[in-house]
Amino acid sequence: MTYNKCLLADYLSKAITKDRLFYKQKDFFEKNNINLILNKTVEKIDTQNNTIYFDYNSNNNQSLTYDYLFLGLGTNPIIPDVPGIKNLEKIFTFQTYEDILKISEFIKKYKKLSVTIIGTGLTGVECSDVLSGMNLDINLVSKHNRILANLIDQAGSKVLEALIKDKKVNLLKEEILAKIEANKKSKYLLTFQSGKQLETNIIIFAMGTKPNTELAEKSEIKVDKGILTNDYLQTNIHNIFAGGDVINTKDILTGKSTKSNTWPDAVNQGIIAASNMLGDKKVYPGVLATISSHVYNTTFVSCGPVTNPPEGCKIVIKKDSNFYHKYLIQNNILIGFLMVGKVDNVGKLRNDILNKTQSPYFY
Ligand SMILES: Cc1cc2nc3c(=O)[nH]c(=O)nc-3n(C[C@H](O)[C@H](O)[C@H](O)COP(=O)(O)OP(=O)(O)OC[C@H]3O[C@@H](n4cnc5c(N)ncnc54)[C@H](O)[C@@H]3O)c2cc1C
């Protein structure tokens, strides 16, 4: 069934129930005349005969024909190919409902565990936050010199890193995993490229994801890291559309190709592609990357190129003991903002960016 991935950490911490996670129930699909097919993997698309095949190589081979096809295939987690990683039992990712079930089952079984989370993007930090409340020893490993390096600048990361320290999470920075060895105490010995070592009971990889493009590539659908789509979210095959994390889309500010990787963008792309498939033509304007989350009792929101401001853009910082704000202004127009701690006016500021509104407030 369909669930909201953004709420996986909340489900693991028991802050929300299963009903809230699985936000669309079976009757939604029945009422809307949608034939919901679960637990099937599409293995082949025959674009000449408009047919998709499930379990293509088995005797149970099934197919469906289509007039239009939408590909919302998402991403796969990245797991590093380091010596010793093959056939390990206690390694996990933090991407799906099944991952959460496996992690919570394992944690329940053992009293005192050490958990190492590798990756300090949004999922790694959210995962460490939830687990730090469960009486476990947590190591959080970043290859960067700060956490959330693609979303937050150095000063903003510092605010969150202080809170992580308060929760007794062991944060390791600028460390890259080099090998894993199973030792006698049924623990894993992790060795990093720097030579540093640590022992852990389980490893959770949160090192980012890559678009799940294999099916498209096999089917002559054009891919360049993600599935390529035009302004109508149509692929190079006229009756196949795509959206969500699997596509490359364009940055609304620069027009440059970028990855789509947020829930609201995926939803919006699904709606626009559906409209276009029904003949009601709508242009997809592109993404204004905006990510927000609540971790370690603090909210943050990152919008636009805050970690990589364009040359010549003016930067306005406002801060106090409990918040840090950064605004990026180009030609008197707001093009991005970062808020850590106190978060306000997000909708208005986003609209100012999208509408290219002059921002006298900052002068
Ligand atoms: C832990 C976590 C926290 C997140 N938090 C946030 C957040 O706070 N805010 C935010 O905006 N975004 C967040 N995201 C990102 C957000 O969840 C994604 O951007 C969104 O889910 C993308 O939707 P999608 O439909 O493109 O892909 P997905 O939700 O990944 O869905 C793709 C589906 O396609 C299925 N599939 C793939 N290949 C096949 C095949 N061959 N046959 C049949 N089915 C197939 C997959 O099994 C999957 O069910 C988070 C993600 C994670 C993992």
Q: What is the total residue count of the chain?
A: 363
pLDDT at 60: 74
pLDDT at 183: 78
What are the structural domain ranges in the chain? 1-29, 77-209, 297-362
Distance 245 CA to ligand 1 centre (A): 7
DSSP 309: P
Residue from 2, 4, 5, 56 to probe ligand 1 pocket by mutation (most atoms less than 8 Å from CB): 5
pLDDT digits (tens, 9 = 90+) for 17-40: 999 999 888 899 999 999 999 999
CA dist 266 and 160 (Å) reads 28
Ligand 1 atom closest to residue 127's alpha carbon, by position in its atom list: 1
Ligand 1 atom closest to residue 9's alpha carbon, by position in its atom list: 1
pLDDT digits (tens, 9 = 90+) for 320-356: 988 999 999 998 899 999 999 999 999 999 999 999 9
- Supply the mean pLDDT for the chain: 93
HSE toward the beta carbon, residue 185, CA cutoff 13 A = 9
pLDDT at 358: 82
Query: 77-209 with 297-362: one CATH topology?
Result: no
Q: Which residue CA neighbors atom 15 of ligand 1 most closely?
A: 262
State whether the beta carbon of 8 lies less than 6 angstroms from ligand 1.
yes
pLDDT digits (tens, 9 = 90+) for 226-277: 999 999 999 999 999 999 999 999 999 989 999 989 999 999 999 999 999 9
Residue with tokens 């079930």: 101
pLDDT at 216: 97
Per-residue pLDDT band at 61 (split at 50, 70, 90): confident
- The CATH code that applies to domain 297-362 is 3.30.390.30
CA dist 323 and 160 (Å) reads 10
**Measuring CA to CA, which residue among 116, 112, 167, 113 is closest to residue 140?**
116
Asked whether residue 363 carries a pLDDT value surpassing 60, the answer given is no
* 3-class DSSP string for 47-105: CCCCEEEECCCCCCCEEEECCCEEECCCEEECCCCCCCCCCCCCEEECCCHHHHHHHHH
Per-residue pLDDT band at 361 (split at 50, 70, 90): low
Distance 242 CA to ligand 1 centre (A): 13
pLDDT at 1: 80
pLDDT at 109: 82
Asked whether residue 42 carries a pLDDT value surpassing 70, the answer given is yes
pLDDT digits (tens, 9 = 90+) for 275-288: 999 999 999 999 99
- The CATH code that applies to domain 77-209 is 3.50.50.60
Of 276 and 358, the one with more pLDDT? 276
Asked whether residue 362 carries a pLDDT value surpassing 70, the answer given is no
Asked whether residue 90 carries a pLDDT value surpassing 90, the answer given is no
Distance 223 CA to ligand 1 centre (A): 18
pLDDT digits (tens, 9 = 90+) for 182-213: 876 678 999 999 999 999 999 999 999 999 99
Question: Is-contact 248 78, C-beta < 8 A?
Answer: no
**Measuring CA to CA, which residue among 223, 231, 197 is closest to residue 84?**
197
As a whole number, mean pLDDT of residues 89-106 equals 94
> What is the DSSP pairing of strand 247-250 with strand 226-228?
parallel
